[in-house]
Amino acid sequence: MTTGSATGRVLRDRTAGLFLAAVVVSGFGSSAMSPAAGIWVKSLTGSDSLAALALFTVWLPVLFGPALGALTDRLPRQPLLVGANVVMALLLTTLTAVDSAGRIWLLFAVLVLYGTSSVLMDAAESALVARAVDARLLGDFNGLRMTANEGMKLVAPLTGAALCARFGGASVALLDAVSFALAAGLYGLLRVRGPEPAAAGDPEGGRGAGMRQVWGSEVLRPLVLAGSVTMLCAGLNGATLYAVIDKTLGHSPAYAGVLSAAQGIGSVAIGLLAGPLLRRLPERVFTAAGIAVFAVAVGLRAVPYDAVALVACGLIGAGLPCVLIAAMTAVQRETPDALLGRTAATANTLMMAPNAVALALGAGLVALVDVRVLLPLVGAVALAAAVVLVTGRRGAPTRSPAGPRPSSAEA
């Protein structure tokens, strides 16, 4: 199966196409809102700390992923996706009332719900995709999903920042509300036949079921652990961004946009190639190769040349998503349908929570350790994770009690 034919099959599949369209629409709104929230808070309060807290508030619900994922296994997933998008569209319109520092609490309340809905929808979407998309195309779908998300990040943040500066934060909130409403409509058009597992109860219940599924699988456990270490390193790497721009490259903070664009281009490219590579390479080899590319690129960021910095950011964008795409594809393939929501959310928590922690830890380390020393050390840790992954004990793929995944034609 060639790259073109596999990608074409995904795009021609009505269900997969609707999913990807929803990702593009909602991803544009979310990517526009993310930087605008911090700008909005800063403009109303003048506080850098509160502006940073706005970004952390959206991340906070990731820590409760297993519990939120269990909820997606108890509710019909398609109605959950539609309902969550409609609720967020309505909630975002309330932010038009945030016009002073005294009402900033409303923005923070909505941001908490924003992050919560993101965790719920990611888990429900991962579970629904696994039932609706041919199992042989899951890697291609997840790669295209990464491409769609990263593609939106190339244009949406600039749009959000420009709107926020010209018309205020409420304009970005309304744009995001429209994107949620459109995504709700797209999810409502899905035709996924067959009973939802939630309708039959929850015989394998328990919030810890997702953790047991991840930890008990010799396929999932090493991938998720490698993802956790890699995302920890990614957080430390991210915390050095402005120190590298200022002290290593000698540019103003605005240069971050150039480096971000380079990283986004790398992520878009690997998203298109991930499916074919996952079919040609063993899963661990693909993942370890991506982590190794990321590790080398992190070390290169200590070199004081613009050309090297741009190449390094492009390589980070290409290497970092590999472990996320491979891990989520494995979760969708290896997990029984009744446990898929909480397992996907648990895997996401285990991989993404270290990133948030490392961002805070890295902020302190940058003040104590020269980035020319810190970055090679971080790269070495990531490279060690790649070596352990590719040389560790290998388990055979687990069998889902529910049997093989249905294709989109059968679902």
pLDDT tens digits for 173-192? Answer: 999 999 999 999 999 888 76
With a cut of 70, say whether residue 407 has pLDDT above it. no
Residue with tokens 């004990």: 393
pLDDT band at 385; cut points 50, 70, 90: very high
Q: For tokens 């696994």, name the residue.
A: 130
**Which tokens in the block code for residue 173?**
């909130």
pLDDT value at 243 more than 90: no
- The tokens for 273 are 């190639």
DSSP string, 141-198: HHHHHHHHHHHHHHHHHHHHHHHHHHH-HHHHHHHHHHHHHHHHHHHHT----S--GG
Say if CB 119 and CB 68 are below 8 A apart. Answer: yes
pLDDT single digits (tens) 145-156: 888 887 887 778
DSSP 79-92: HHHHHHHHHHHHHH
pLDDT tens across 213-234, in order?
A: 888 889 999 999 999 999 999 9
- The phi, psi pair for 377, rounded to 5°, reads -65, -45
Q: Do the beta carbons of residue 286 and residue 322 sit within 8 Å?
A: yes
CA-based nearest residue to 207, from 84, 332, 345, 335: 345
Token reading at 353: 């929570």
pTM above 0.85, yes or no: no
**Collapsed DSSP state (helix, strand, coil) of residue 78:** helix
- Residues 164-177 have a mean pLDDT of 88
Q: So what's the pLDDT on residue 197?
A: 54
What is the rounded average pLDDT of the residues 202-206?
52
Q: Is the pLDDT of residue 411 over 80?
A: no
Residue type at position 32 = A
Q: What is the pLDDT of residue 84?
A: 92
Cβ atoms of 60 and 114 closer than 8 Å: no
Q: Name all domains of the chain by residue range, CATH numbers in brackets.
A: 1-194 (1.20.1250.20), 205-392 (1.20.1250.20)
- Give 399's pLDDT tier (boundaries 50, 70, 90): very low
Place of tokens 């388990």: 395
Mean pLDDT for the stretch of residues 374-396: 87
Contacts for 362 with CB less than 8 Å, ≥ 6 apart? 235, 236, 237, 238, 239, 240
User: Residues 1-21: what's their mean pLDDT?
Assistant: 72
- The pLDDT assigned to 210 comes to 82
Q: What share of the chain is helix, strand, coil (3-state, %, to 5)?
A: 85, 0, 15
Question: Tokens for 111?
Answer: 């941001």
- The pLDDT score that the predictor gives to residue 310 is 94
Write the DSSP string, 16-77. HHHHHHHHHHHHHHHHHHHHHHHHHHHHHH--HHHHHHHHHHHHGGGGGHHHHHHHHHHS-H
Lowest mean pLDDT among 45-59, 146-160, 344-358: 45-59
In this predicted structure, which of 44-53, 232-241, 367-376, 386-395 has the lowest mean pLDDT? 44-53
pLDDT at 29 over 90: no
